[in-house]
């Protein structure tokens, strides 16, 4: 049989738009000879719908959309993701489901069995799992239809999480192949991990696997596509596009050409951030964005991503110097804007800063200057950028990286102002690596921006490393503490300086309240701040 892959970018709650995409893909793939056409997980509703599921008309409208798709099915079978009702007398109200639509036949409904509740997932909040797994007959052959997590095996999960094994049960029933509808979010290295897992499953059970993944950005999650067709011998013979929609008809017997070349992590990261930003803006109705340009590497990287995502004419970069801003920083910001062709403004905040200092002098009389005065500058910049955002209807992008956000090296209501934190899940060391990738064919980000010591420039001769450990050391310890959940003692045993470890851990824990108020950020690592890491603010546990 020929399998059609509809690797689609859907929007949560856009039933009409999603179904139009599904139907258009169905017609094209059917016309090219596909016998079975696969769509991603929850393709009718978009993924993840979260608490929209509890809205009284959400699930009924998704069922109406499913009925309309059933009417449109002609020759080829359509396998589509939707939300079904739980009609049993107990359990959660809904089921994560796939419908196999064939002309003149009542839809065959399959429910998801394995409901993830780790990292960003919270499916057990809404869905009741399936309790048995039966093959589905499609055009005279028996197939195992599975949904995302149903094919994930214990060694590829945080730990073995499930007693059930849908793939084992389906293959024991004698299916010709496994079809999988997926919405698997991107993280660095995850496309390779998925490929290895599915190839291993195919070899183990000696049947082909056809895996259709979602693509696009929905809030903090980015879906990378990279759908797969894997032979019974465990060889990937087709891989879908990365970070873009694709419609393809696959017949294992007809494919002679090799796979697309393997991509680097930095290529994946760049495309993930661009797609996440583009879709966040587009799906939220923004046509333009604004950001502060300090002359530093974080704002430079964010500007590059923005220009790629929405076009240079739709990006406004703003320099806001004070007496502490070096001339080279202002010059680097101007050069970056010229290199990118984005709109550029310089709005000095020195007069505003002096006026505010004068207003507060009677209250602060006799007290030394400290971070209070430094943060005034950051907050005046936040006020300036928010004013531009309000006046022109542009989305304000924050430019802080994961390392700074982790230890609170950022100013609440200052540089944290904004609607989307584009690189808040990118550690500082990776910021440098990604910037070098961007400059691989010539300098887009000015060379001085990359090589100069990073500085907030809020006091004379300030450098980040006056306050923070070296970034390579900081990022190594943060990875162990934030992503691997190791205690301070565990990290110290790995050879790190005890005082440095304790300082970093204390800073991470103390600044939970800042991260609770931060703009949503795009998840690109194994564990991001935000929906995948839920920590109390008021707590006394010492790690």
> What is the chain's mean pLDDT, rounded?
93
Annotated catalytic residue within 112, 283, 402, 428: 112
**Within a domain: 502:** no
Residues 87 and 223 occupy one common structural domain: yes
Whether residues 281 and 167 fall in one domain: no
512 part of the active site: no
Same domain, residue pair 182 and 296: no
CB 108 within 8 A of CB 132: no
What is the mean pLDDT of the segment spanning 326-337? 87
* Cα 509 from chain centroid (whole Å): 24
Looking at the structure, do residues 9 and 37 belong to the same domain, yes or no? yes
| φ and ψ at residue 238, rounded to 5 degrees | -155, 140
Is 410 an active-site residue? Answer: no
Say yes or no to pLDDT of 257 above 70.
no
Residue 194 lies in a domain: yes
Please confirm, yes or no, whether 283 is among the known catalytic residues. Answer: no
Q: Is 118 a known ligand-binding residue?
A: yes
- The Cα diameter of the chain in Å comes to 87
**What strands lie across the sheet with 94-102, from one edge to the other?**
105-111, 94-102, 77-85, 36-38, 3-7, 246-250
What is the number of structural domains in the chain? Answer: 2
Residues 274 and 365 in one domain: yes
Residue 273 phi, psi dihedral angles, 5° rounding: -65, -40
Q: Is 292 annotated as a binding residue?
A: yes
What tokens does 525 get? 């690592």
Report the pLDDT value the prediction gives residue 460, as an integer from 0 to 100.
62
**At residue 137, does pLDDT exceed 90?**
yes
> Which domain-ending residue is among 435, 464, 493?
464
**Does position 79 have pLDDT exceeding 80, yes or no?**
yes
User: Predicted confidence band at 439 (pLDDT cuts at 50, 70, 90)?
Assistant: very high
The per-residue pLDDT for 325 is: 63
Within 8 A by CB and 6+ apart from 363, the residues are: none
Catalytic residue among 19, 128, 148, 523: 148
Does 473 reside within a domain? no
Q: What is the mean pLDDT of residues 400-421?
A: 95
Q: How far is CA 76 from CA 4, 137, 277, in A?
A: 9, 13, 35
- Short-list 107, 118, 115, 34, CA closest to 66: 107
Q: Which residues pair with 317 in a beta bridge?
A: 291, 344
Domain boundary among 209, 229, 254: 254
514 annotated as belonging to a binding site for a ligand: yes
Is residue 263 a part of any domain in this protein? no
In a domain, 513, yes or no: no
The sign of the CA dihedral 232, 233, 234, 237 is negative
What average pLDDT does the segment 450-462 reach?
A: 70
> Cα–Cα distance between 226 and 220 in angstroms, integer?
19
Q: Is 287 annotated as a binding residue?
A: no
Same domain, 47 and 102: yes
Q: The tokens 């196999």 sit on which residue? A: 100
404 is in an annotated binding site: yes
Q: Which whole number is the average pLDDT over 391-401?
A: 97
CA distance 79 to 60: 19
- pLDDT higher than 80, residue 252: no
Distance CA 135, CA 169 (A): 9
Read off φ and ψ for residue 307, nearest 5 degrees: -60, -40
**Alpha carbons 286 and 289: distance in angstroms, whole number:** 8
Q: Which of 197, 220, 254 is the last residue of a domain?
A: 254
What's the confidence (pLDDT) of residue 307?
A: 98
- pLDDT reported for residue 253: 75
Are 247 and 274 members of one domain?
Answer: no
From 19, 41, 417, 457, the catalytic residue: 41
Q: 422 is in which domain, residue-wise?
A: 270-464
> Could you tell me if 309 and 445 lie in one domain?
yes
481 found inside a domain? no
100 - beta bridge partners? 79, 108
Neighbour count for residue 540 (Cβ, 10 Å)? 6
**For the domain that residue 7 is a member of, what is the CATH number?**
3.60.110.10
DSSP code, position 158: S
Q: What are the tens digits of pLDDT across the range 23-55? A: 999 999 999 999 999 999 999 999 999 999 999
Residue 110 CA to residue 133 CA, distance in Å, equals 8
Mean pLDDT, residues 455-482 taken together: 81
Judge whether 512 lies within some domain. no
Residue 150's SS3 state is helix
Q: Residue 455: its pLDDT value, please?
A: 66
Task: Let me know whether 274 and 249 are in one domain.
Answer: no
How many residues are recorded in the chain? 543
Asked if residue 232 and residue 97 are part of one domain, the reply reads yes
Q: Is 219 annotated as a binding residue?
A: no
CATH number at residue 358: 3.40.50.620
Residue among 536, 520, 538 at smallest CA distance from 528: 520
Question: Is a pLDDT exceeding 90 seen at residue 310?
Answer: yes
Asked if the structure places residue 446 within a domain, the reply is: yes
pLDDT for 256 beyond 60: no
State the pLDDT confidence band at 538, using cuts at 50, 70 and 90. Answer: confident
H-type alpha helices, 393-535:
402-407, 428-438, 447-451, 471-478, 488-493, 498-510, 512-516
- Same domain for 315 and 239: no
Judge whether 184 is annotated as a binding position: yes
Q: Residue 254: which pLDDT band, with cuts at 50, 70 and 90? A: low
Q: Where are the beta strands (DSSP E) in 42-135?
A: 77-85, 94-102, 105-111
| Same domain (yes/no): 430, 300 | yes
């Amino acid at each position: 049989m020929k399998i059609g892959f509809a690797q689609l970018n859907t929007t949560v709650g856009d039933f009409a738009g999603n179904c139009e995409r599904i139907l258009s893909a169905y017609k094209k793939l059917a016309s090219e000879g596909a016998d079975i056409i696969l769509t991603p997980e929850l393709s009718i509703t978009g993924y993840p719908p979260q608490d929209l599921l509890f809205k009284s008309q959400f699930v009924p409208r998704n069922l109406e959309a499913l009925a309309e798709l059933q009417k449109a099915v002609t020759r080829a079978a359509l396998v589509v993701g939707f939300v079904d009702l739980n009609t049993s007398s107990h359990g959660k109200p809904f089921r994560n489901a796939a419908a196999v639509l064939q002309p003149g036949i009542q839809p065959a409904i399959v429910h998801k069995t394995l409901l993830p509740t780790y990292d960003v997932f919270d499916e057990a909040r809404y869905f009741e799992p399936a309790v048995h797994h039966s093959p589905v007959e499609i055009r005279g052959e028996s197939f195992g239809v599975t949904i995302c997590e149903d094919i994930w095996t214990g060694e590829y999960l945080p730990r073995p999480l499930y007693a059930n094994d849908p793939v084992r049960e389906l293959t024991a029933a004698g299916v010709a192949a496994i079809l999988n509808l997926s919405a698997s979010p991107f993280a660095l290295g995850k496309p390779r991990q998925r490929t290895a897992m599915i190839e291993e499953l195919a070899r183990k059970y000696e049947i082909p696997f056809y895996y259709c993944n979602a693509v696009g950005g929905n809030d903090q999650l980015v879906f990378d596509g990279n759908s797969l067709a894997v032979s019974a011998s465990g060889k990937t013979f087709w891989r879908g596009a990365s970070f873009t929609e694709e419609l393809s008809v696959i017949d294992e017997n007809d494919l002679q050409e090799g796979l697309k070349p393997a991509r680097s992590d930095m290529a994946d990261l760049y495309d993930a951030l661009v797609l996440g930003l583009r879709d966040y803006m587009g799906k939220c109705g923004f046509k333009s964005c604004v950001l502060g340009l300090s002359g530093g590497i974080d704002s430079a990287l964010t500007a590059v991503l923005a220009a790629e995502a929405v076009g240079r004419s739709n990006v406004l970069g703003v320099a806001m110097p004070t007496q502490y801003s070096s001339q080279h920083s202002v010059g680097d910001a101007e050069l970056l804007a010229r290199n990118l062709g984005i709109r550029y403004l310089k709005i000095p905040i020195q007069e505003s800063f002096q006026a505010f200092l004068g207003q507060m002098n009677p209250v602060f009389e006799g007290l030394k200057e400290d971070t209070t005065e430094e943060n005034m500058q950051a907050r005046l910049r936040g006020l300036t950028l928010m004013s531009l955002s309000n006046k022109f209807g542009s989305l304000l992008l924050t430019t802080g990286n994961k390392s700074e956000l982790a230890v609170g090296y950022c100013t609440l209501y200052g540089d944290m102002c904004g609607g989307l934190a584009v690189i808040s899940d990118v550690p500082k060391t990776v910021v440098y690596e990604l910037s070098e990738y961007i400059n691989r064919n010539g300098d887009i980000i000015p060379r001085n921006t990359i090589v100069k010591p990073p500085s907030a420039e809020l006091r004379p001769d300030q450098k980040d490393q006056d306050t923070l450990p070296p970034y390579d050391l900081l990022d190594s310890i943060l990875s162990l503490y934030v992503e691997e959940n190791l205690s301070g003692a565990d990290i110290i045993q790995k050879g790190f300086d005890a005082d440095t470890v304790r300082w970093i851990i204390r800073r991470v824990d103390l600044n939970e309240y800042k991260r609770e108020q931060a703009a949503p950020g795009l998840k690109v690592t194994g564990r991001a701040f935000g929906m995948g890491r839920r920590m109390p603010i008021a707590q006394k546990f010492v790690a």
